[in-house]
Amino acid sequence: GCPDDSILVQYEVQNGEDKDREIALYSMPLGGAVSVTVGMVRSSFPPPGHYHFRFKAPTSDGSFGGWVWIDLASDQDFVPVYNG
């Protein structure tokens, strides 16, 4: 479960070889927000360091297996919701 006024975020860190991949979840507080921005993800991201965030987004016609990775340019950009 997830506390009220928060969402579960699944992430994968892709560095180096496949054996170094890390997939995990964390609970991100929403603070009353109804949408999530890149800045909210960046400020709540648990592992320390500097990251390039890429988000999974559904395709409108189901092409590419139903989803694509997107890069958002600004911390004010809204993060897409995929399967949730």
> Is the pTM higher than 0.85?
no
Handedness of CA 44, 7, 17, 64 (dihedral sign): negative
- Count H helices and E strands in the chain, helices first: 1, 4
* Residue pair 37/79 in contact by the 8 Å Cβ criterion: yes
Q: What is the pLDDT of residues 3-35, one digit of tens each?
A: 678 888 988 877 766 666 677 889 999 988 888
CA distance 37 to 75: 6
pLDDT, tens only, 46-56: 888 888 899 99
Question: Distance (Å, rounded) from C-alpha 2 to C-alpha 66?
Answer: 27
Residue with tokens 């991100």: 28
